[in-house]
Amino acid sequence: MTTPRPGTLWAHGAPPDIGFWGPFPRRTLHCLRMLGRATERCFLQVLSIERRCKENALSGVPCDLLERSQRVQEARQAARNTVQQACLAGQLTELNFSSFDDVFNDIERGCVDQAAAAIAVLYPPAPVAALTAADTATTRCMVEVSARGAKVLRQATRLRRRGLELIAVDPLPLLKRSEKLSLLQEAADRAGAARRRAAARIALVCPDFAAAYGRGIEEVLGVLVPVADCVLGSVYVQLTVACPVCGNSVTEYNEQCDDGNRIDTDGCTNQCTFAP
Q: What is the pLDDT of residue 130?
A: 54
Q: State pTM to two decimals.
A: 0.84
Q: What is the pLDDT of residue 167?
A: 81
Q: What is the pLDDT of residue 126?
A: 57
- Evaluate whether 54 touches 128 at the Cβ level (below 8 Å): yes
Sign of CA dihedral 32, 93, 185, 47: positive
Cis geometry, peptide bond prior to residue 127 (ω within 30 degrees of 0): no
Q: What is the pLDDT of residue 58?
A: 81
- Evaluate whether 141 touches 212 at the Cβ level (below 8 Å): yes
Distance CA 220, CA 274 (A): 23
Q: What is the pLDDT of residue 193?
A: 93
Q: What is the pLDDT of residue 51?
A: 95
How many other β-carbons are positioned within 10 Å of the β-carbon of residue 120?
A: 17
Q: Is 26 exposed, middle or buried (0-12, 13-18, 19+ CB in 10 A)?
A: exposed
Q: What is the pLDDT of residue 6?
A: 37
Give the torsion through C-alpha atoms of 75, 76, 81, 83, to 10 deg: 120
Distance CA 158, CA 108 (A): 19
> Average pLDDT over the chain, rounded to whole?
82
Q: What is the pLDDT of residue 76?
A: 95
> Which residues of the chain fall below pLDDT 70?
1-17, 20, 125-134, 170-175, 237-245, 248-250, 252-254, 261-265, 276
Of 238, 228, 220, 240, nearest in space to 190 by CA: 228
Q: What is the pLDDT of residue 239?
A: 46
Q: What is the pLDDT of residue 229?
A: 82
Distance CA 238, CA 32 (A): 13
- Evaluate whether 247 touches 231 at the Cβ level (below 8 Å): no
Q: What is the pLDDT of residue 154?
A: 94
